[in-house]
Amino acid sequence: MATEEKALQKELTVFEQHKREWLRNHPGDFVVIADETVAGFYPDYESAFKAGLGKFGIQASFLVKQLWAEEPVYLIH
């Protein structure tokens, strides 16, 4: 597995481990995670992404993911 895939898997694991807890206080917000570090919660993707760049830098990989009780399903035809 590539390094980026391992990092993404770790970040998704952190997200899933804390999702229920975070949903109580941050429903609909975007969380920023790099490795196992949570950089915070933001009301929109743009501010979350900018915060991730500010905290981790342009060369780092990080996850920006919205907190939903149920993931939306998108259909493309």
Query: Are 52 and 32 in contact, with CB atoms under 8 Å apart?
Result: yes
- Percent of the chain beyond pLDDT 90? 77
Number of domains the chain is built from? 1
72, part of any domain:
no
pLDDT category at 73 given cuts 50, 70, 90 is confident
How confident is residue 51, by pLDDT bands cut at 50, 70 and 90?
A: very high
pLDDT in tens, 1-37: 577 788 899 999 999 999 999 999 999 999 999 999 9
Confidence (pLDDT) at 1: 56
Cβ pair 51, 42 in contact under 8 A: yes
pLDDT at 13: 97
The residues, any chain, with a CB within 8 Å of residue 51's CB and separated by 6 or more, are 32, 39, 40, 42
Tell me if 13 is assigned to some domain: yes
Strand partners, 66: 30
Is 76 inside a domain boundary? no
